[in-house]
Structure 1
Amino acid sequence: MRSFDAIIIGAGQAGPSLAGRFNDAGKTVAIIERKHVGGTCVNTGCKPTKTLVASAYAAHLARRSRDYGIVLGGDVTVDMPAVMHRSHQVTLDSRHGNESWLDGMQHCTLIRGHARFESANTIRVGNEILTAPQIFLNVGARAAIPDFPGVQDVPYMTNSDIVVLDRLPRHLVVIGGSYIGLEFAQMYRRFGSQVTVVEKGPRLVGREDEEISDAVRGILEAEGIQIRTGAECIRFAKHADGVAVGVTCTEGEPEVIGSDVLLAVGRNPNTQDLGLDKAGVELDARGYIKVGDDLATNVEGIWALGDCNGRGAFTHTAYNDFEIVASNLFDGENRKVSDRLLGYALYIDPPLGRVGMSETEARKAGKNILVGTRPMTKVGRAVEKGETLGFMKIVADADTKQILGAAILGTGGDESIHGILDMMNAGATYDTLRWAMPIHPTVSELWPTVILSMQPN
């Protein structure tokens, strides 16, 4: 049996950083990883997908070159093996960087293998037994495989598969009309595939306000992507040309014939094979580890960070989990998950940046709201770039002048949203932002103008 001050299971976004804090404090820490260091973000999520998005954007811009007075010779073609090699190299560089970082920690031991609890403070990895008074679970999540009729009878891909695909699908059928599905849909359309998105709900990105969902749909359809919403009869069957995907029983063509299928309908936590029952750690009905506001589980000495705790499904929320736990353990603070303000982005082009409440959520909360909007056609920076799709939107409390939330679907939206996010984190009223003097020409300079346009709604 090997004893440590702490054991971390999973080397995703939160794990290595937490190992670093233990190491810097002179405490021994074991970090256990059964597959790739870096977790989803580095290996099958942010790093490879945003690299692919960049390649798809380059192809799209090349096809639009005449709009900018640039003449290219011949048709724009995409070398998929080269695109995939570039993406994979970004992943490898990041993964190796994380590995080198861990290897360089004097008090940290990186252990390869599958970890399972033997008791609340004892972990088995193969034939080795490890023990520590503090154990941190950072085991992440994986793509959900829904129990659609016929799904096990046909070949399909998840995000983990498609990020290493080095060929161009003739017709990619994407099941799921939210973040992961729409990003792959647009990028593969720009690479040259025919693409159909099948969404069970009545609209795309259903958590957003309806006008944002409609605008996203319009952007994708304008690029030739077929959208099938309200697909209540999703089913699969083998077909001579690939896979027959049943879409609906009521309207439109009942089937879509695709060469390839991508399942992008959510995530499941990697908690089913850790022996959590032996430790007494409680799970919720979906298999997520139950945690309190400080990310501690019901068992003293065990915490859960990242996707496996169901308190956030993003790289930045996983990293913030690390910050909360580290601050409380090492800095004497009392940080809480409930204190954080959630922001996120949808990385289609143009991207959607979101923070705080949507208009719909603010109404449901009974707020007396003000709403301001601005089309990107009225944003000078967008006009100059020739990228005028989308709009900006802000929601505020008419009684307190607090900013409740904002969204920007438009060029630079994933960056511009931080002006609002920072103001909200600082607790500033919209008057403070109204009198800011932003830089021209930028997208962010329009936020004070959007505030001036706010009306009761």
Structure 2
Amino acid sequence: MTVFDLVVLGGGTGNIVASAAADAGLDVAIVERGRLGGTCLNRGCNPSKKLIHRADVVETVRNASAYGIDATLDDVPFADVVAEVNATVAEEAESKAERAREHDGVTFYQAAGRFVDERTVEVRTGGEWGDDSNETITGDDVVLAGGSRPLIPDSIDGADEASFLTSDEALRLDELPDRLVVVGGGYIAVEMGHFFGQMGATVVIVGHGDVLADREDHDVAERLTEAYRRKHELHLGHEVTALADDDGETVVTAESEDGDELEVRGDEVLVATGRRPNSDLWNVEAAGLETNEKGFVATDECLETSVDGVWAIGDIADNFMFKHSGDKEAEYVVENVVRDARTPVEFPGMAHAVFGSPQIGSLGKTESDLGDRAYDVGEFEYDETALGSALASDAGYAKALVAPDDEVLGFHVVGPHASMLVHEVSTAVAAGGDAERIAETIHVHPALSEVVQGAFRDARDVAPSGF
């Protein structure tokens, strides 16, 4: 058995911890079955947002006539676009691997691993699990950053036989489908629907909620849904019950709450029904790690698990499933493991975005979350600002949720650049600012950030505008 100061399981957010620990002089092992960089770099946010940016450019050209500009789009080289993005991602991942291999303090196992005891891991460097040719390693501390994978609901009959894509495969298609059916209505469905639609596919979305992105604030989700309804075929309020192959197509069967059955077909089907933690793949039971009913590894406020010296971060832990939250958790684990602190993790101003068209930016509570709690609502339309009105008549909308004592409870925006606009509020909240401070901060005119100010001024009834 090989002994290390620190064993890091997973090369996504865990890579941050491994690098810092090795730089601090610890003897570190990284175990990653795929490429370094994890889901985000290789199969998630990085390639998807690079592809989505191309879709945004295509959409801009398609809509140029609305601004009096004569522009044509003769062709979109789908295969070339996908190949270029994936080549860039692969190059970045390999660069990370080379740096890890060259670091004197790091042993990089590019292989599958699983727990066989509390802080002991079998690395599949040889044959099958349990082979003597495999290597067993242990660490004084172990950081589990084992990530997540697409969730395929057991309730879908035929899913083990029918042909379909997950987000992993959809990002690597070398041929544009004529008709893509997306199963699910969350952020992956929204983002991939936008990408494939602008690339030229007919997109059909079948989701169980009454709106797309139904975990977002309802007013924001409704606006997103109406925008998608104008561009795509939506079948909402339907639970997918079965998948089947038929004559080169995949047949999707779904049912509404009233029992009405729906059948749609696509030459490709993308199942985008969420993600599940990889705790089972890492065999966490053998280490004695407690998990919740969904399989997420339980941690305390310092991100230590139920086993001393074993820590969990990123998608596999029961916190946020965002890359930026995972990176923040990695920073805390560096403090607590490498520097021997006991600092509780905090997520001040935690925001997220959905990179569809339109975009969504969101922070804090939605109105549904707040229930009977006392709060004020501030609303503002993009077209109430000079720059916003130049975008489109229905370009976007912002909503601020504010407590009577001026605490920012939530902020939600849908429209162009929403993923950037939300950061003004995120920064203010993280710095201890309140709603009145945001409302009274001098904003550049005519920048789009006036939309943010407008929502908070409306919430605080301090919006002088002249005649």
**Mean Cα displacement is larger for which, 99-108 or 214-223?**
99-108
Please report how far the alpha carbon of residue 337 of structure 1 lies from its aligned counterpart in structure 2 after TM superposition: 3.5
**Secondary structure at 1:153 match in 2:** coil
1:86-165 matches, within 5 Å, as 86-126=84-124, 127-147=134-154, 148-165=156-173
Q: 1:172 to 1:252 in 2, by over 3 A?
A: farther
CA separation of 1:160/1:449 partners in 2, compared to 1, >3 Å: closer, same or farther?
same
State the distance in 2 between where 1:190 and 1:285 align.
Answer: 39
Identity, % of aligned positions: 27
CA deviation vs aligned residue, 1:387-414 (integer Å, no higher than 9, x gap): 852201101001x111111011111110
Question: Does the alignment pair 1:395 with 2:401?
Answer: yes
SS of equivalent to 1:405: strand
| SS in structure 1 at match of 2:316 | helix
Match of 1:294 in 2: 302
Farther-moved stretch of structure 1 (99-108 vs 119-128): 99-108
**Alpha-carbon distance in structure 2 between the residues aligned to 1:413 and 1:256:** 32
Which of 434, 440, 448 pairs up with 1:435?
Answer: 440
- SS of aligned partner of 1:281: coil
Question: Residue in 2 aligned with 1:306?
Answer: 314
Matching residue's letter, 2:329: D
> How far apart, CA to CA, are the structure 1 residues paired with 2:89 and 2:2?
32
Judging changes above 3 Å, is the alpha-carbon distance between structure 1 residues 273 and 331 closer, same or farther for their aligned structure 2 residues? closer
- The TM-score with structure 2 as length reference comes to 0.91
2:7 alignment partner in structure 1: 7
CA-based RMSD: 2.0
Shift of 1:356: 0.8
Query: What CA deviation, in whole Å up to 9, does each residue of 1:51-89 have, x standing for no partner?
Result: 11111112111212223443335x532111111112212
- Paired with 2:394 and 2:89, the residues of 1 have a C-alpha distance of 32
- The answer to whether the aligner puts 1:221 opposite 2:220 as a matched pair is no
Change (3 A) 1:103 1:330: same
Verify the 8 A CA contact 1:173 1:197 in the aligned structure 2.
yes
What SS does the aligned partner of 1:133 have? Answer: strand
2:348/2:429 contact within 8 Å kept: no
Paired residue for 1:337? Answer: 345
CA distance in 2, matches of 1:282, 1:160: 28
Aligned to 2:198: 190
- Secondary structure of 2:211's counterpart equals coil
Amino acid at match of 1:368: A
1:167-246 map, 5 Å: 167-223=175-231, 225-232=232-239, 234-240=241-247, 242-246=249-253
Letter in 2 for 1:367: R
Write the distance in 1 (CA, Å) between the matches of 2:290 and 2:159: 31
1:450 to 444, 447, 455: 455
Structure 1 residue 338 displacement after superposition: 4.9
Which stretch shows the higher mean deviation, 296-305 or 201-210?
201-210
For residue 348 of structure 1, give the secondary structure of its aligned residue in structure 2: coil
- SS of 1:227's equivalent in the other structure is strand
What is residue 380 of structure 1 aligned with on the other side?
A: 386
Task: Name the SS for the 2:302 alignment partner.
Answer: coil
CA distance in structure 1 between the aligned counterparts of 2:417 and 2:171, rounded to whole angstroms = 24
**Post-superposition shift, 1:386?**
4.6
**1:46 alignment counterpart:** 45
Q: How many residues align?
A: 450
Q: Deviations over 1:173-222 (max 9, x none)?
A: 10000100111111111111111111112322121222212101111112
Runs of 5+ unmatched residues, structure 2: 125-133, 462-467
Instruction: Pick closer, same or farther for the CA change 1:203–1:72 going to 2, 3 Å.
Output: closer
Gap change, CA 1:146 and 1:253, over 3 Å in 2: closer
Larger deviation, residues 445-454 vs 196-205: 445-454
- Tell me which residue corresponds to 1:423: 428
The answer (yes or no) to whether the contact 1:51–1:90 under 8 Å persists in 2 is no
| Structure 1: gaps of 5 or more residues | none
- Deviation track 1:327-347 (CA, whole Å, cap 9, x = no partner) reads 233456543335544311011
CA–CA distance in 1 between the matches of 2:280 and 2:209? 28
In the alignment, is residue 349 of structure 1 matched against residue 347 of structure 2? no
Tell me the equivalent position of 2:277: 269
Secondary structure, aligned partner of 2:212: coil
Matches within 5 A, 1:2-81: 2-12=2-12, 14-72=13-71, 75-81=73-79
| Alpha-carbon distance change, 410 to 145 in structure 1, aligned in 2, over 3 angstroms | same
1:247 matched to 2:245 = no
- 2: distance between equivalents of 1:430 and 1:269? 36
The superposition leaves residues 139-184 of structure 1 with CA deviations (integer Å, 9 ceiling, x where unpaired) of 1000011120222232000000000001111111100001001111
SS at match of 1:151: coil
CA distance in structure 2 between the partners assigned to 1:152 and 1:109 by the alignment: 37
Query: What secondary structure, in the 3-state scheme, does the structure 2 residue paired with 1:389 have?
Result: coil
Q: Which amino acid aligns with 1:415?
A: M
Counterpart of 2:238, as a letter, is: A
1:454 match: secondary structure: helix
Is the Cα contact below 8 Å between 1:241 and 1:257 reproduced in 2? no
Q: What's the TM-score once normalised by structure 1's chain length? A: 0.93
